[in-house]
Amino acid sequence: MTRLLHIAVKDMKILLRDKAAFLIMLGMPLVLIFILGSALSGVGESENVDIPVAIVSVDAGDQGAPFAEAIADVEELQAVFNIEVLDDVELVRSKVEKGDLTAVLVIPVGFTEALAAGEPIELEVLQDPGSEMTAGIWVGVARAAAANLSAGQIVRITVENTLARAGIPQSPVTFQQGDTGGDIAFDAVSVKQLDVEPEKQVEMIDYYAAGQTGLFLLFGAMFGAFGFARERRERTFARILASPATTMDLVGGKSLGILGVACAQFLVLYLGTTLLFGVDWGPTPSGILLVGFAEAWAATGLAMTLSVLGKTERAIGGIGPTVIMLFAALGGSMIPVDMMPAWMLPLQSVSPVYWAMGAFLDLMRGEAFSVVLMPVGILLGIGAVLFTFGLWRLRYE
């Protein structure tokens, strides 16, 4: 056991003195996390969409302008649209043609008179064909306003006809246009608005902290595999096996050294991203550390496999990055797994990055500790399979 620990400590010292390895394992992931997180930090996180639209009233009566103002004053619409209220149709048409406005609602001439007479009214929407989706949202608003307007008209006409049939003298009923853009005083049916507590959103810098940490733990394993190849080349293995050390001391010591370096690498990245970039790893640090240890073990198994698949440092340098980048791509380290084509989904289960990232993101969203138990078990299983394969092939040397 003492010999095993001596070999592990020796390997850890050699790897930590390697400046190139140190830069790749610690410096590069911190830089990438900062760049990617900062560049994409505002994507998809703004509450206000701010679509530029306008309402134009060319009605000469006293109902068109209040109707336009009533729509523009709705707070829910202001959170989505940047609404201008204008009175020049040609001006807004020109703005739509230039792309300065996405869509325009036009309140036509004779709007007030048509309301008073109970006649049909046609609202017009001008839209930019290059912004069909966002313009369609404004068309939906116009249809909702028209439906609200129709409801008010039906109520007014019904009341007037009922009073006339009953022979009850009636005063002219004034249709208050301002009510149609906001709340209509219907007491029979009411709508209760409830705010649903949203799931905690993982910010971009947090996402890439998890992704790059998962990726570069595997690169650390590749440098551990370089140690095997270097000792083959320098014939250190033969000299160690000529000593009282056994094969198990040699393999166990080198594997323990790789595992120790991987755990230290994860701890530095975890603390570094938290202190330098304010990454929120969630309220369960014990779960994060457990997942980090499990992936470090999977990385150790990968190092064993790479060390027997590539007999030289050059061979490992060719095989290792290919395998690691494939694992990273499948695991969501580069793009979210939800955006990947369906045919790739079954392949994700072989990637340690996939299971580590899924557990990291769940904990970042505030999930309980128990949510990581299955991913941790799978990561330990992947590490065991890779380690066993490497040990099996190593016996032929």
Residue 358's alpha-carbon distances to 191, 213, 361, 376, 386, in angstroms, are 39, 13, 5, 10, 21
Give the Cα separation of 36 and 41 in Å (integer): 8
pLDDT at residue number 44: 43
The yes/no answer on whether domain 51-181 falls in CATH 3.20.20.80 is no
Residue 39 pLDDT = 59
The pLDDT value given to residue 23: 66
Instruction: Output the pTM of the full model.
Output: 0.60
For the chain, domain boundaries: 7-43+202-394, 51-181
Of the candidates 214, 220, 212, 218, which has an alpha carbon nearest to the alpha carbon of residue 12?
Answer: 220
Contact between 294 and 47 under an 8 Å Cβ cutoff? The reply is no
Q: Give the strands of the sheet with 124-127, arranged side by side.
A: 81-86, 51-57, 103-107, 124-127
Q: What pLDDT shows up at residue 193?
A: 44
Angle between helices 247-277 and 2-16 (to 10 degrees): 40
Collapsed DSSP state (helix, strand, coil) of residue 53 = strand
The low-confidence residues of the chain, meaning pLDDT below 50, are 42-48, 173-196
Q: Which helix (H) or strand (E) holds 324?
A: helix 313-331
Torsion angle defined by CA atoms of residues 35, 41, 43 and 48, in that order, rounded to the nearest 10 degrees? -150
Q: Which of 133, 206, 129 is nearest to 361 (CA)?
A: 206
pLDDT tens, position by position, 97-139: 888 888 888 888 888 888 777 777 788 888 887 777 777 788 8
pLDDT recorded at residue 33: 74
From the list 313, 224, 295, 232, the residue with the least C-alpha distance to 261 is 224
The rounded distance, in Å, linking the Cα atoms of 100 and 127 is 11
pLDDT of 292: 94
Contacts of 64 (CB under 8 A, 6+ apart): 57, 58, 107, 111, 112
Between CA 201 and CA 209, with CA 207 as vertex, the angle to 5 degrees is 140
Q: Note the pLDDT of residue 245.
A: 61
- Looking at residue 381, its pLDDT comes to 96
